Amino acid sequence: MFISLEGIEGCGKSTQIVLLHQRLLDHGMPVTLTREPGGSELGRHLRALLLHQQSANLTAHAELFLYLADRAQHVAEVIKPALTAGNVVLCDRFTDSTVVYQGYGRGLDPHLLDSLNQVAVEGCLPNLTLILDLPVETGLRRARKRNVLQDLSASEGRFEAESLGFHHRIRAGYLLWAALHPGRCAIVQADLPPEKVGVKIWSLVAPRLGLG
Please give the DSSP secondary-structure letter assigned to residue 4.
E
**By CB under 6 A, what part of segment 14-53 binds ligand TYD?**
14, 36-37, 51
- Among the residue ranges 77-85, 92-100, 127-135, 204-212, the one whose residues contact ligand TYD (CB under 6 A): 92-100
The pairs formed by 47-56 with CB atoms below 8 angstroms and a separation of 24 or more are 48/155, 50/158, 51/155, 51/156, 51/157, 51/158, 51/159, 52/154, 52/155, 52/156, 52/158, 53/153, 53/154, 53/155, 53/157, 53/158, 53/161, 54/154, 55/158, 56/158, 56/161
Stretch that binds ligand TYD, among 78-86, 94-102, 124-132, 200-208 (CB under 6 A): 94-102
**Residue 101 contacts ligand TYD per CB under 6 A:** yes
Task: Please give the Cα distance from 1 to 128 (Å, whole number).
Answer: 8
Nearer to ligand TYD, 44 or 208 (CB): 44
Amino acid at 207: P
Alpha-carbon radius of gyration of the chain: 16
> Based on CB atoms, which residue is closest to ligand TYD, 139 or 198?
139
Q: Stretches 24-32, 95-103, 179-187, 198-206: which one binds ligand TYD (CB under 6 A)?
A: 95-103
Q: Min. distance of Cβ 139 from ligand TYD in angstroms?
A: 9
Cα angle: 69, vertex 71, 75; to 5 degrees: 125
Shortest separation between residue 212's beta carbon and ligand TYD, angstroms: 28
Which span sits near ligand TYD by CB under 6 A: 54-62, 76-84, 90-98, 188-196?
90-98
Q: Which stretches of the chain bind ligand TYD, using CB under 6 A?
A: 9, 14, 36-37, 51, 67, 92-93, 97-98, 101-102, 143, 159
